[in-house]
């Protein structure tokens, strides 16, 4: 497993209940802002194996991106069970529900 894949898995695992993250946001946090499609592949291939909260990951427009009805409804119901309001066309208010992880900042002591 690549370091990028390991990092993506850890980031997805840390998204708290009641919050969402976008594919691109996760890619950026993992150090490759243009790797959103790779995040999709990781979710698709590793969600079950690593018990990932895949339902908390949505597209940049704030929408559930899954096309088939069964998966779409499963994601919608899972998010709603966590208190996330899902509107028309599977839209989620990113201003209200997007996860904003704390950014680790280097202290002045780290520079000496």
Q: What is the pLDDT of residue 106?
A: 45
Q: Residue 104: pLDDT band by 50, 70, 90 thresholds?
A: low
For 10-14, 65-69, 107-111, which range has the lowest pLDDT when averaged over its residues? 107-111
Tens digit of pLDDT for each residue in 23-56?
Answer: 999 999 999 999 999 999 999 999 999 999 999 9
Asked whether residue 107 carries a pLDDT value surpassing 60, the answer given is no
Instruction: Please give the full DSSP string across the chain, using - where no structure is assigned.
Output: --HHHHHHHHHHHTPPTT-BEEHHHHHHHTT-TT-HHHHHHHHHHHTTTTT--GGGEE-TTSB----SHHHHHHHHHHHHHTT----GGGB--HHHHB--PPPP---GGGG-
Q: Does domain 3-111 have CATH number 1.10.10.10?
A: yes
Q: pTM score, two decimals?
A: 0.87
Spans of all domains in the chain: 3-111
């Amino acid at each position: 497993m690549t370091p990028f894949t390991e990092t993506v898995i850890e980031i997805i695992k840390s998204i708290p209940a009641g919050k969402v993250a976008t594919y691109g946001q996760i890619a950026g946090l993992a150090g490759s802002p243009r790797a959103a499609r790779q995040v999709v592949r990781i979710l698709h291939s590793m969600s079950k194996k690593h018990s990932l909260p895949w339902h908390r990951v949505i597209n940049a427009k704030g929408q559930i991106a899954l096309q088939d009805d069964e998966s779409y409804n499963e994601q919608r119901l899972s998010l709603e069970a966590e208190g996330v309001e899902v509107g028309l066309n599977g839209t989620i208010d990113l201003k209200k529900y997007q996860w904003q992880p704390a950014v680790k900042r280097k202290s002045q002591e780290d520079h000496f």
